[in-house]
Amino acid sequence: MTRKHLLSSADLSRDEVEAILDTAASMHDVQRREVKKIPTLRGRTVINLFFEDSTRTRSSFEIAGKWMSADTINITGKGSSTSKGESLRDTVKTICAMAVDALVIRHSASGACHQVAQWVDASVINAGDGTHEHPTQALLDAYTLRQRLGSLDGRHIVIVGDLAHSRVFRSNVITLGRLGARVTVVAPPTLMPSGIGDWSARDGFATSWDLDQTLYAASPGDRPDAVMMLRVQRERMSGGFFPTEREYTAGYGLTRERLTRLYAATPDLPILHPGPMNRGLEISAEAADATSSAILDQVSAGVAVRMAVLYHLLAGETEAAA
């Protein structure tokens, strides 16, 4: 792979996704060793530039870089969002003047990573841009699902929740689609992204306003092979997208009752959530902690997948790519 940036999940072909996931599997083995450090990125500098709060993504990128012997530095701050502050271009040009190899960027604005990639020489990795994309999350979700289900060809993955504001959804429909999965996305009409009708038709995924119809499809072939619950972003709910949390849970939550009914058909159904969870809102405690829950597996996969991404984007320049 000779890719420089990872800005969108659409950047990656199926072969590239599979190469990253295969590398991630061997990185996962590294994680289980007593001494976890490998020398692959020795002498390289990776900056985690987080303009927006993050715990798991930032720390997993940091650990990934450190285990690969890169010098990783975290820069956080919420600046650069007003016309009075320093421009984004000035901020990243300043940082890159310090001879940086890669910028891992989280920003509250959609497209920020695309713009930065035009301005700097370093590799840019999108660690979540606004309500646009989160490609490494989609890769770690795909990794987790492959661990549970094997090949994703023809598998039916159901994604439920606040699609309008979800960068996880936007990246996942692309990456899961690349791997041959059938995807159905479920949300109330007010939390569907604009233009979803044309978009889903063009990209070959299904949409629904009815969670129960999707989960308990009459035909066994249409039942889900995995369910991914998305976080309801309370901080973005000022517009009154639904009347009450109680009503949301009744329509779109993975409640204990829904879990019981799902388990009757598929006892080992993988349940995913990108976190952080609102327990009791989009996911019940029973579902989050269920035996088939893959939520902690996702976190664990996060480090391995990010090691693999750093490897494919950075190590290829100094040694033969895997």
Partner 1 sequence: MTDVLIKGAKVLGDNAADILVRDGMIAQIGSIGSTRSSGERDGARLTVVDADGLVVLPGLVDLHTHLREPGREDAETVASGSAAAAAGGFTAVLAMANTSPVTDTAEAAERVLDLGRAAGLVDVQPIGAVSKGLAGAELAELGLMARSRAAVRVFSDDGRCVHDARLMRRALDYLKPFGGVISQHAQDPHLADGTACCHEGEVSGRLGLPAWPAVAEDVIVARDVQLARHTGSRVHVAHVSTAASVEIIRWAKAQGIAVTAEVTPHHLALGTELLAGYDPVFKVNPPLRPDADRAAILAALVDGTIDAVATDHAPHARHDKEHAFPDAAFGMLGLETALAVLAEVAVRPGLLTWAQLAQRMSFAPARIAGLAGHGRPVAVGEPANLVLLDPDATWTVDRAASQSLSRNNPWHGRTLPAPVVATFLRGECTAYRGRVRGQFDPEEIA
Q: Which segment (145-153, 190-198, 263-271, 285-293) binds partner 1 by CB under 8 A?
A: 190-198
Note whether 281 binds partner 1 by CB under 8 A.
no
CA distances from 316 to 70, 139, 199, 226, 292 (A): 14, 19, 34, 34, 37
* Chain-centroid distance, C-alpha 90: 28
- Choose which of 3, 114, 223, 279 interacts with partner 1 (CB under 8 A): 114
Shortest gap between Cβ of 266 and partner 1 (angstroms)? 31
DSSP state of 242: S
Binding mask 202-221 for partner 1 (x = CB under 8 A): x-------------------
- Choose which of 28, 167, 178, 231 interacts with partner 1 (CB under 8 A): 167
Whose Cβ is closer to partner 1: residue 176's or residue 303's?
Answer: 176
* Chain-centroid distance, C-alpha 189: 23
Tokens of 147: 């661990």
Helix, strand, coil percentages, rounded to 5, for the chain? 45, 15, 40
**Rg, Å, the chain Cα set:** 20
Q: Which of residues 119-138 bind partner 1 (CB under 8 A)?
A: 129-133
Note whether 89 binds partner 1 by CB under 8 A.
yes
Pairing of strands 226-229, 45-50: unpaired
Phi and psi of 275, rounded to 5°? 70, 165
Note whether 235 binds partner 1 by CB under 8 A.
no
Note whether 107 binds partner 1 by CB under 8 A.
yes
Tokens of 28: 């996962």
Note whether 244 binds partner 1 by CB under 8 A.
no
Whose Cβ is closer to partner 1: residue 9's or residue 255's?
Answer: 9
Whose Cβ is closer to partner 1: residue 47's or residue 112's?
Answer: 112
CA distances from 277 to 14, 55, 289 (A): 30, 13, 12
Q: Which segment (16-24, 86-94, 224-232, 302-310) binds partner 1 by CB under 8 A?
A: 86-94
- Choose which of 4, 71, 111, 251 interacts with partner 1 (CB under 8 A): 111
Whose Cβ is closer to partner 1: residue 96's or residue 294's?
Answer: 96
Shortest gap between Cβ of 81 and partner 1 (angstroms)? 5
Note whether 25 binds partner 1 by CB under 8 A.
no
* Chain-centroid distance, C-alpha 88: 24
Phi and psi of 90, rounded to 5°? -60, -40
Note whether 26 binds partner 1 by CB under 8 A.
no
Which of 52, 241, 259, 274 has the alpha carbon at shortest distance from 169?
274
CA angle 14, 24, 139 (to 5 degrees): 50
Residue 32 amino acid letter: R
Shortest gap between Cβ of 89 and partner 1 (angstroms)? 4
- Choose which of 83, 219, 244, 291 interacts with partner 1 (CB under 8 A): 83
162 three-state secondary structure: coil
Residues 94, 116: Cα–Cα separation, whole Å? 12
Whose Cβ is closer to partner 1: residue 88's or residue 230's?
Answer: 88
Chain residues that interact with partner 1, rule: CB under 8 A: 80-83, 87-90, 107, 109-112, 114-115, 129-133, 167, 170, 193-196, 198-199, 202
